[in-house]
Amino acid sequence: FEAILRKLIEKTRDLMKSEAGVIILFRPDRTKSFLSTDKLIDEQFIKDMLSVDSGGLARIIAEQKPIRNNNVPIPLSNGNEISNFIALSLHSTTDLQCLLIMLNRDAGFSREDEDSFLNFAFQAFQTISLQSELAKLATTDGLTGLHNHRVFQDRLSEEILRAERYKSKLFLLIIDIDHFKSFNDACGHQTGDGVLKAIARIIKGNIRKVDFPARYGGEEFVVILPESDRGDAHKVAERIREAVMTYPFYLNDGSKAVLTVSIGGSCFPEDATGKEDLIRKADKALYYAKNQGRNRVSLYMDILEHGKL
Protein backbone atom coordinates (compact mmCIF):
# COMPACT_ATOMS: atom_id res chain seq x y z
CA PHE A 1 0.00 0.00 0.00
CA GLU A 2 2.81 2.41 0.86
CA ALA A 3 4.47 1.61 -2.48
CA ILE A 4 1.27 2.71 -4.23
CA LEU A 5 1.19 5.90 -2.17
CA ARG A 6 4.76 6.63 -3.24
CA LYS A 7 3.58 6.37 -6.83
CA LEU A 8 0.85 8.88 -6.02
CA ILE A 9 3.44 11.32 -4.68
CA GLU A 10 5.64 10.86 -7.73
CA LYS A 11 2.78 11.26 -10.23
CA THR A 12 1.50 14.35 -8.43
CA ARG A 13 5.01 15.77 -8.31
CA ASP A 14 5.36 15.27 -12.07
CA LEU A 15 1.96 16.85 -12.73
CA MET A 16 2.77 19.88 -10.56
CA LYS A 17 6.39 20.07 -11.75
CA SER A 18 7.38 20.11 -8.08
CA GLU A 19 10.79 19.40 -6.60
CA ALA A 20 9.54 17.21 -3.76
CA GLY A 21 6.38 15.61 -2.46
CA VAL A 22 5.20 14.29 0.89
CA ILE A 23 2.30 12.20 2.20
CA ILE A 24 1.36 11.81 5.83
CA LEU A 25 -1.18 8.98 6.04
CA PHE A 26 -3.52 8.83 9.04
CA ARG A 27 -5.00 5.36 9.51
CA PRO A 28 -8.30 4.51 11.27
CA ASP A 29 -6.32 2.95 14.16
CA ARG A 30 -4.62 6.38 14.70
CA THR A 31 -1.23 5.24 13.47
CA LYS A 32 0.40 7.23 10.70
CA SER A 33 2.94 6.78 7.92
CA PHE A 34 5.29 9.45 6.59
CA LEU A 35 6.46 9.13 2.97
CA SER A 36 8.64 11.60 1.08
CA THR A 37 10.48 11.78 -2.24
CA ASP A 38 13.32 13.76 -0.62
CA LYS A 39 15.29 12.51 2.39
CA LEU A 40 15.74 16.12 3.57
CA ILE A 41 11.98 16.47 3.97
CA ASP A 42 11.29 14.79 7.32
CA GLU A 43 8.43 14.97 9.81
CA GLN A 44 10.02 17.76 11.82
CA PHE A 45 10.41 19.85 8.69
CA ILE A 46 6.74 19.36 7.84
CA LYS A 47 5.76 20.47 11.34
CA ASP A 48 7.92 23.57 10.96
CA MET A 49 6.52 24.24 7.51
CA LEU A 50 2.90 23.95 8.57
CA SER A 51 3.45 26.24 11.54
CA VAL A 52 4.20 29.19 9.23
CA ASP A 53 0.62 29.16 8.00
CA SER A 54 -2.07 30.56 10.28
CA GLY A 55 -4.04 27.61 11.56
CA GLY A 56 -1.50 25.13 10.21
CA LEU A 57 -2.57 21.53 9.83
CA ALA A 58 -5.91 22.11 11.56
CA ARG A 59 -6.86 24.67 8.94
CA ILE A 60 -5.95 22.36 6.03
CA ILE A 61 -8.03 19.52 7.44
CA ALA A 62 -10.98 21.75 8.33
CA GLU A 63 -11.22 23.59 5.01
CA GLN A 64 -10.90 20.49 2.79
CA LYS A 65 -9.30 22.51 0.02
CA PRO A 66 -5.72 23.23 -1.00
CA ILE A 67 -3.75 25.98 0.68
CA ARG A 68 -0.82 27.69 -1.03
CA ASN A 69 2.13 29.44 0.50
CA ASN A 70 4.54 31.19 -1.85
CA ASN A 71 7.77 32.95 -0.94
CA VAL A 72 7.78 31.86 2.71
CA PRO A 73 11.36 30.61 3.33
CA ILE A 74 11.65 27.46 5.46
CA PRO A 75 15.20 26.18 6.16
CA LEU A 76 16.33 22.65 5.33
CA SER A 77 18.90 20.75 7.38
CA ASN A 78 21.51 21.11 4.61
CA GLY A 79 21.33 24.93 4.66
CA ASN A 80 19.00 25.33 1.66
CA GLU A 81 15.42 26.59 1.84
CA ILE A 82 11.97 25.61 0.65
CA SER A 83 9.97 28.73 -0.15
CA ASN A 84 6.79 27.42 -1.74
CA PHE A 85 4.33 24.67 -0.92
CA ILE A 86 0.79 23.58 -1.64
CA ALA A 87 -1.02 21.22 0.73
CA LEU A 88 -4.30 19.32 0.70
CA SER A 89 -6.09 17.07 3.20
CA LEU A 90 -7.71 14.06 1.54
CA HIS A 91 -10.40 11.79 2.99
CA SER A 92 -11.59 8.52 1.49
CA THR A 93 -14.89 6.71 1.84
CA THR A 94 -12.93 3.90 3.56
CA ASP A 95 -11.90 6.09 6.52
CA LEU A 96 -8.35 6.73 5.37
CA GLN A 97 -7.05 10.27 5.57
CA CYS A 98 -3.85 11.82 4.34
CA LEU A 99 -2.07 15.13 4.03
CA LEU A 100 -0.49 15.55 0.57
CA ILE A 101 2.10 18.30 0.14
CA MET A 102 4.08 19.48 -2.88
CA LEU A 103 7.15 21.68 -2.37
CA ASN A 104 9.39 23.95 -4.47
CA ARG A 105 12.51 25.93 -3.63
CA ASP A 106 11.99 28.63 -6.26
CA ALA A 107 8.81 28.53 -8.36
CA GLY A 108 5.52 29.32 -6.65
CA PHE A 109 2.16 27.61 -7.20
CA SER A 110 -0.68 29.24 -9.15
CA ARG A 111 -4.46 28.99 -8.91
CA GLU A 112 -4.38 26.67 -11.95
CA ASP A 113 -1.90 24.47 -10.07
CA GLU A 114 -4.32 24.40 -7.16
CA ASP A 115 -7.22 23.20 -9.35
CA SER A 116 -5.10 20.50 -10.99
CA PHE A 117 -3.78 19.41 -7.60
CA LEU A 118 -7.26 19.09 -6.11
CA ASN A 119 -8.84 17.21 -9.02
CA PHE A 120 -6.02 14.73 -9.63
CA ALA A 121 -5.14 14.03 -6.00
CA PHE A 122 -8.76 13.55 -4.89
CA GLN A 123 -9.61 11.01 -7.59
CA ALA A 124 -6.31 9.17 -7.26
CA PHE A 125 -6.57 8.85 -3.46
CA GLN A 126 -10.14 7.57 -3.65
CA THR A 127 -9.09 4.90 -6.16
CA ILE A 128 -6.09 3.86 -4.06
CA SER A 129 -8.17 3.70 -0.89
CA LEU A 130 -10.81 1.54 -2.55
CA GLN A 131 -8.15 -0.86 -3.85
CA SER A 132 -6.68 -1.05 -0.36
CA GLU A 133 -10.07 -1.83 1.14
CA LEU A 134 -10.73 -4.57 -1.41
CA ALA A 135 -7.34 -6.11 -0.64
CA LYS A 136 -8.13 -5.95 3.07
CA LEU A 137 -11.49 -7.67 2.56
CA ALA A 138 -9.73 -10.50 0.74
CA THR A 139 -7.37 -11.13 3.65
CA THR A 140 -9.47 -10.24 6.70
CA ASP A 141 -12.25 -12.01 8.56
CA GLY A 142 -15.27 -9.76 8.12
CA LEU A 143 -16.64 -10.26 11.64
CA THR A 144 -13.59 -10.07 13.91
CA GLY A 145 -11.16 -8.02 11.82
CA LEU A 146 -8.45 -10.65 12.31
CA HIS A 147 -6.62 -12.29 9.44
CA ASN A 148 -8.65 -15.02 7.75
CA HIS A 149 -7.91 -18.73 7.40
CA ARG A 150 -6.24 -18.47 3.99
CA VAL A 151 -3.85 -15.75 5.11
CA PHE A 152 -3.04 -17.73 8.26
CA GLN A 153 -2.07 -20.76 6.18
CA ASP A 154 0.23 -18.64 4.01
CA ARG A 155 1.80 -16.92 7.01
CA LEU A 156 2.39 -20.19 8.86
CA SER A 157 4.23 -21.57 5.83
CA GLU A 158 6.41 -18.44 5.73
CA GLU A 159 7.16 -18.58 9.45
CA ILE A 160 8.14 -22.26 9.27
CA LEU A 161 10.55 -21.52 6.41
CA ARG A 162 12.01 -18.66 8.45
CA ALA A 163 12.38 -20.87 11.53
CA GLU A 164 14.17 -23.51 9.46
CA ARG A 165 16.51 -20.94 7.96
CA TYR A 166 17.48 -19.32 11.25
CA LYS A 167 17.29 -22.48 13.38
CA SER A 168 14.67 -20.93 15.65
CA LYS A 169 11.43 -22.14 17.21
CA LEU A 170 7.86 -21.07 16.71
CA PHE A 171 4.68 -22.01 18.54
CA LEU A 172 1.18 -22.37 17.23
CA LEU A 173 -1.78 -21.86 19.56
CA ILE A 174 -5.32 -22.96 18.73
CA ILE A 175 -7.97 -21.28 20.87
CA ASP A 176 -11.50 -22.67 21.10
CA ILE A 177 -14.46 -21.11 22.94
CA ASP A 178 -15.92 -23.62 25.40
CA HIS A 179 -19.59 -24.61 24.92
CA PHE A 180 -20.04 -21.89 22.28
CA LYS A 181 -22.74 -23.74 20.35
CA SER A 182 -24.89 -23.99 23.48
CA PHE A 183 -24.27 -20.29 24.18
CA ASN A 184 -25.30 -19.36 20.63
CA ASP A 185 -28.46 -21.48 20.83
CA ALA A 186 -29.44 -19.92 24.16
CA CYS A 187 -28.50 -16.30 23.54
CA GLY A 188 -28.76 -15.89 19.77
CA HIS A 189 -26.23 -15.55 17.00
CA GLN A 190 -26.07 -11.76 17.26
CA THR A 191 -24.89 -12.03 20.85
CA GLY A 192 -22.54 -14.80 19.78
CA ASP A 193 -21.05 -12.53 17.13
CA GLY A 194 -20.40 -9.95 19.83
CA VAL A 195 -18.52 -12.58 21.83
CA LEU A 196 -16.36 -13.49 18.84
CA LYS A 197 -15.47 -9.83 18.31
CA ALA A 198 -14.63 -9.37 22.00
CA ILE A 199 -12.41 -12.45 22.13
CA ALA A 200 -10.60 -11.31 18.99
CA ARG A 201 -9.84 -8.01 20.77
CA ILE A 202 -8.68 -9.89 23.87
CA ILE A 203 -6.32 -12.01 21.80
CA LYS A 204 -4.85 -8.98 20.01
CA GLY A 205 -4.42 -7.20 23.33
CA ASN A 206 -2.44 -10.02 24.91
CA ILE A 207 0.15 -10.86 22.26
CA ARG A 208 3.27 -9.18 20.85
CA LYS A 209 3.33 -7.11 17.69
CA VAL A 210 5.35 -9.83 15.96
CA ASP A 211 2.75 -12.49 16.76
CA PHE A 212 0.10 -13.33 14.16
CA PRO A 213 -3.54 -13.84 15.22
CA ALA A 214 -6.24 -15.16 12.87
CA ARG A 215 -9.73 -16.56 12.92
CA TYR A 216 -9.39 -20.23 12.10
CA GLY A 217 -13.11 -20.85 11.64
CA GLY A 218 -16.31 -20.93 13.67
CA GLU A 219 -15.38 -20.39 17.32
CA GLU A 220 -11.69 -21.20 16.81
CA PHE A 221 -8.78 -18.76 16.66
CA VAL A 222 -5.09 -19.32 16.05
CA VAL A 223 -1.96 -17.39 17.02
CA ILE A 224 1.50 -17.87 15.52
CA LEU A 225 4.26 -17.06 18.02
CA PRO A 226 7.60 -16.69 16.18
CA GLU A 227 10.85 -17.24 18.07
CA SER A 228 9.08 -18.49 21.20
CA ASP A 229 9.95 -21.26 23.61
CA ARG A 230 7.69 -23.36 25.83
CA GLY A 231 7.65 -20.82 28.64
CA ASP A 232 6.78 -17.92 26.33
CA ALA A 233 3.95 -19.83 24.67
CA HIS A 234 2.46 -20.96 27.97
CA LYS A 235 2.54 -17.42 29.38
CA VAL A 236 0.77 -15.98 26.34
CA ALA A 237 -1.83 -18.74 26.32
CA GLU A 238 -2.52 -18.38 30.05
CA ARG A 239 -2.80 -14.62 29.68
CA ILE A 240 -5.43 -15.03 26.97
CA ARG A 241 -7.30 -17.72 28.91
CA GLU A 242 -7.48 -15.63 32.09
CA ALA A 243 -8.46 -12.48 30.18
CA VAL A 244 -11.40 -14.27 28.55
CA MET A 245 -12.49 -15.90 31.82
CA THR A 246 -12.63 -12.53 33.63
CA TYR A 247 -14.13 -10.51 30.76
CA PRO A 248 -17.70 -9.21 31.33
CA PHE A 249 -19.73 -10.53 28.39
CA TYR A 250 -23.00 -8.59 28.60
CA LEU A 251 -26.22 -10.18 27.34
CA ASN A 252 -29.25 -8.43 25.86
CA ASP A 253 -31.03 -8.32 29.22
CA GLY A 254 -28.07 -6.55 30.83
CA SER A 255 -26.82 -9.60 32.71
CA LYS A 256 -23.25 -10.86 32.40
CA ALA A 257 -22.13 -14.23 31.10
CA VAL A 258 -18.94 -16.04 31.98
CA LEU A 259 -17.21 -17.68 29.02
CA THR A 260 -13.97 -19.63 28.86
CA VAL A 261 -11.57 -20.91 26.23
CA SER A 262 -9.44 -24.00 25.91
CA ILE A 263 -6.04 -23.64 24.26
CA GLY A 264 -3.75 -26.17 22.64
CA GLY A 265 -0.23 -25.46 21.47
CA SER A 266 2.58 -27.14 19.55
CA CYS A 267 6.13 -26.20 18.65
CA PHE A 268 8.12 -26.30 15.44
CA PRO A 269 10.50 -28.08 15.10
CA GLU A 270 10.35 -29.85 18.49
CA ASP A 271 6.87 -31.32 18.03
CA ALA A 272 6.29 -31.27 14.30
CA THR A 273 8.09 -31.72 10.99
CA GLY A 274 5.96 -29.37 8.91
CA LYS A 275 2.90 -27.15 8.74
CA GLU A 276 0.17 -29.79 8.66
CA ASP A 277 1.88 -31.76 11.42
CA LEU A 278 2.18 -28.62 13.56
CA ILE A 279 -1.54 -27.86 13.19
CA ARG A 280 -2.45 -31.49 13.93
CA LYS A 281 -0.33 -31.55 17.10
CA ALA A 282 -1.79 -28.25 18.34
CA ASP A 283 -5.27 -29.62 17.67
CA LYS A 284 -4.44 -32.77 19.67
CA ALA A 285 -3.31 -30.62 22.57
CA LEU A 286 -6.55 -28.62 22.33
CA TYR A 287 -8.57 -31.85 22.33
CA TYR A 288 -6.70 -32.92 25.46
CA ALA A 289 -7.50 -29.59 27.18
CA LYS A 290 -11.17 -30.09 26.36
CA ASN A 291 -11.15 -33.63 27.75
CA GLN A 292 -9.53 -32.44 30.98
CA GLY A 293 -12.44 -30.17 31.78
CA ARG A 294 -11.93 -27.15 29.49
CA ASN A 295 -10.77 -23.64 30.48
CA ARG A 296 -7.14 -24.73 30.44
CA VAL A 297 -3.93 -24.59 28.40
CA SER A 298 -2.25 -27.74 27.11
CA LEU A 299 1.01 -27.80 25.18
CA TYR A 300 1.73 -30.90 23.12
CA MET A 301 5.22 -31.41 24.53
CA ASP A 302 3.98 -31.23 28.13
CA ILE A 303 1.30 -33.84 27.50
CA LEU A 304 3.76 -36.06 25.65
CA GLU A 305 6.28 -35.89 28.47
CA HIS A 306 3.66 -37.06 30.94
CA GLY A 307 2.64 -39.95 28.71
CA LYS A 308 -0.88 -38.62 28.13
CA LEU A 309 -0.79 -38.91 24.31
163 φψ region: left (φ > 0), alpha (ψ -120 to 50), beta (else): alpha
Question: How close are the terminal C-alpha atoms of the chain, in Å?
Answer: 46
> Residue 293: is it exposed, middle or buried by C-beta count within 10 angstroms (0-12/13-18/19+)?
exposed
Give the integer Cα–Cα distance in Å for 15 and 124: 13
Give helix 230-245 / helix 189-205 axis angle, nearest 10°: 140
d(Cα 41, Cα 22) in Å, to the nearest integer? 8
Q: Which residue in 43, 219, 220, 242 is the catalytic one?
A: 219
Which residue stretches of 140-274 are H helix?
Answer: 149-166, 180-187, 189-205, 230-245
Examine the residue annotation and report whether 219 is marked as an active-site residue of this protein: yes
Residue 268 sits at φ, ψ, to 5 deg, of -110, 130
Q: Phi, psi at residue 225, to the nearest 5°?
A: -115, 90
Q: Where are the alpha helices (DSSP H) in 219-305?
A: 230-245, 275-291, 300-305
Catalytic residues: 219
